[in-house]
Amino acid sequence: MKPRHAVALALVGWYLMCAPRISENPLIYDVGAPLSKWTMNDSYDTAGGCRRGKDALLRPLSDGLSHADTEDRRKTLVQIFSALNDGLQCIATDDPRLNAK
């Protein structure tokens, strides 16, 4: 890698973005909405840090799945986990979709 490319990569940060909700239902996210409509949950220096941040948000649900005492509770936790997992994305700070209208 050329030094100038390494410098450019070093300047890129990462946002943990959350999709907008479609309705009052907290489990329905508009994952197809333009990234400019998503909200920034947190920012990170690296992609790995962003993924760890996302994992940390999802960990309580993941832990709850392994301790679910009924099938109904497990199904509910799977729905919540799936919705949140889909509604959270790590995006590079220089991603042009962030500025798209």
Tell me the mean pLDDT in the region 43-68.
91
Alpha-carbon distance 87 to 16, whole Å?
10
The answer to whether 97 touches 17, Cβ cutoff 8 Å, is no
* Minimum mean pLDDT range among 4-18, 23-37, 62-76: 4-18
Mean pLDDT for the chain?
A: 86
Q: Is the pLDDT of residue 6 over 60?
A: no
User: Which has more confidence, 36 or 5?
Assistant: 36
Q: What is the 8-class DSSP label of residue 20?
A: P
pTM > 0.85: yes or no: no
More confident residue, 7 or 86: 86
Count of CA atoms in the C-beta half-sphere (13 A) of 27? 7
| pLDDT at residue 17, rounded to an integer | 97
| Contacting residues for 1 by C-beta, under 8 A, at least 6 apart | none
pLDDT at 10 over 50: yes
Domain boundaries defined on the chain: 3-98
